[in-house]
Structure 1
Amino acid sequence: MKNAKDVVAIIPARCGSKRVPQKNRLVIGDRSLLDRTAGCIERSGCIDRIILSTDDPDLARDAASYPSIRVAARPDRLAGDDATTEDVIRHLIRTENLAKSTIVLLQLTSPFRTGRDIAELLEEMRKTAAKSGVAVCRWRLPPSPPFGEVSDMHVLGRSPRIDYSPMRSIHNEHWAINGAMYIFQADEFGRSGKFYDENSAIHVMPNWRSIDIDYQDDVEIATAIAKARNL
């Protein structure tokens, strides 16, 4: 897809991760998350520039192997637990002169996103004249209501009074944002402060490719998928 605006992929990758240490430097299958992301960007054929925002010196060193990736050192004030991705994007729009760009926000933790996913979402935005777009999958009902408290390891405990019957009626009939891609106009984000809204274009990904690595279990599931599907 040809775009009148500069199309810039931004990869935010903070060093600190409490649930999965050094999450952004993981290897899934035989490929690092950085290599998987760089590969899908290249295969999309849609990206003019790539910026990696990180405070991780090891990840920055890994990125030096990819000539197309510019590493933007993340300041300390944007490297703490309180900093948001929105804060990082605002900083990069200002410091990297991106005010007139189309931004493709890609987390490293979506290992099975493809270049075709990126290209098709950009194309959907073009066809519908949408100012933003997101990757989604089918929303699924949680397998069980919550019980008890995790601090008590001996009994199930009570279930909170939550009425799940309305949720069952919409099982698999709505979209869930999977975090694999957010595409938006920098100037529009500057006005709204949002990556998406109810009018955003969507690109539907299968649930197995929508895995987002946030817990150790996700690492094991993604590794198993990569092995089973030779990815």
Structure 2
Amino acid sequence: MKTIAIIPARGGSKRLPQKNIKVLGEYPLLVHSILYAQSNNKIIDKIYVTTDDEEVKKTALEFGAKVIDRPQLLSGDLEPTVSALKHVLQSIEGEVENVVLLQPTNPLRPQNLLDDAFEIYKKENCDSLFTVSRNHQKFGKIADKKFIPFNYTIGQRSQDLEPIFFENGLLYITRASLILNDIIISENAFPFEVNHIFASVDIDDQNDFEYAAYLLSKNK
């Protein structure tokens, strides 16, 4: 069994320019995911960064990852992540069974997360697994200037809500054969629950970045 990690880190970011190499704590944002993969080398055989950016490439190589140059055709704002993952698989030699997707915008992960998730992935014979977290908020929509509750009734206590979950982006494990068919999360994907403060981090703008920096400083 060969398992690789892929970290997609293109250069274009409008809300937070060059965010993948912006320093978070001691390291560029991208590097946190590289180091996490390296710390799980009992599971991950090789680490690949796919990018269209020379500075990202330089940083990834400096910290020991292999780099796959991503074509501009696969680097647009609307291009799905699976295209970049598929391109990596088509660009490397040797058979790959599993892909661990680590998004650089989710740089903080519980250290034992991959160990625990991969054990379930194997035990359940999953074709894919992704991390989710429970949300305790009261959701609704606005229609005709009226608020319509979605997951509760007016007056219901928060602790009595029916559990509802969100995809937190911390970790994905998928069979390479699925990715080659343009799928990351299958219909039978295992939702691995992670209720940790790190699951609230997904860096898109400066406020997200500062929040991540705060959590990092508090959880060293």
Q: Shorter-normalised TM-score: what interval? A: 0.7 to 0.9
Structure 2 unpaired stretches of 5+: none
- How well do the aligned residues superpose, as a CA RMSD in angstroms? 2.5
Given that 2:9 and 2:30 are in contact with CA atoms closer than 8 Å, whether structure 1 keeps it comes out as no
Partner of 1:151: none
Give, in whole Å, the separation in 2 of the partners of 1:23 and 1:202: 28
Q: Is the 8 Å Cα contact of residues 145 and 159 (structure 1) preserved in structure 2?
A: no
Assess if the C-alpha contact under 8 Å between 2:140 and 2:148 holds in 1. Answer: no
CA drift at 1:201: 2.3
Contact kept? 2:4, 2:100, Cα under 8 Å: yes
Q: Give structure 1 stretches of 5+ with no counterpart.
A: 148-157
What is aligned with 1:173?
Answer: 163
Q: 1:102 aligns with which of 98, 103, 111?
A: 98
CA distance in 1 between partners of 2:100 and 2:184 (Å)? 10
2:62 is equivalent to residue 65 of structure 1: yes
Aligned residue type for 1:219: F
Q: Which protein is richer in strand relative to its size? A: 2
Matched, 1:222 2:218: no
Change beyond 3 A, Cα 1:106–1:160: farther
Q: Do the aligned partners of 2:49 and 2:67 also contact (CA within 8 Å) in 1?
A: yes
Counterpart mapping for 1:122-137 below 5 A: 122-137=118-133
> 1-side partners of 2:162 and 2:211: how far apart?
21
Deviation at residue 56 of structure 1 after TM alignment? 1.3
1:26-65 → structure 2 map (5 Å cutoff):
26-44=22-40, 45-65=42-62
Tell me, yes or no, if the aligned pair for 1:136 and 1:178 is still in contact at 8 Å.
yes
Would you say how many aligned residue pairs link Structure 1 and Structure 2? 213
TM-score (norm 1): 0.81
Q: Which residue in 1 is equivalent to 2:185? A: 196
- Cα deviation, residue 107, structure 1: 0.6
Does the aligned pair in 2 maintain the 1:92–1:98 contact within 8 Å?
no
1:213 equivalenced with 2:203 (yes/no): yes
Moved more, 203-212 or 56-65: 203-212
1:212 partner letter = D
Percent sequence identity over aligned pairs: 28
SS at match of 2:99: strand
* Cα-to-partner distance string for 1:18-59 (whole Å, 9 max, x where unaligned): 111111112222232223112211222310011100111111
In the other structure, the counterpart of 2:174 is 184
